[in-house]
Amino acid sequence: MNKILMALYGVSVILTFAVFYWMNYLTAPVLNNDYRGGNGNPALFFPVVLMPFLFYFLYGTVELSMRLAERWLSRKKIIIMISLSLIYVIVVTLWTIHAADRFRTYIVETKDAYNDPTEFALLNVFSNHIFFNPLTFSGVVGICFIAGAGWSLKRRARL
């Protein structure tokens, strides 16, 4: 990557991390009052506005992973790293879904406005802290690494 694209990638990394931080910060407290979260999730405003930077972060991370794997890792090491990353991504995904489901049950027990956990989605204004944290951010980076390392293997097979 040339210097301009790398600088843009650096800005995208910072903005993506900031989006994860602010979405985590904008989690609504679970209080037993009349608020049901009917206006949607205001934290989703940030990824929508910064979508070009998020997409560039994803693409840049995939390409950077591909180039690093191509240059520094052998085929066997790439396969091992892909396997470990895949295990990590699966564990993070399962943990996040399980934690969100438990938290959704907690919301129903705490707030009188809800009777059934299936009344609202797992990602809601009360559960932003579960879906947007350093663990899930590293899961996104892991997915990008899997794609980039796989791309590297495909390029090697073609040569």
Per-residue pLDDT of the chain (159 residues; tens, 9 = 90+): 589 999 999 999 999 999 999 999 988 887 766 565 566 788 888 999 999 999 999 999 999 999 999 999 999 999 999 999 999 999 999 999 999 999 999 988 888 777 888 888 888 888 999 999 999 999 999 999 999 999 999 998 876
What one-letter code names the amino acid at 115? N
CB atoms within 10 A of CB 126: 23
Enter the pTM of the model.
0.87
Give the C-alpha distances (Å, rounded to integers) separating 56 from 11, 60, 122: 10, 6, 27
For 120, which DSSP code? S
* Nearest partner of 8 among 51, 56, 50, 49, judged by Cα: 56
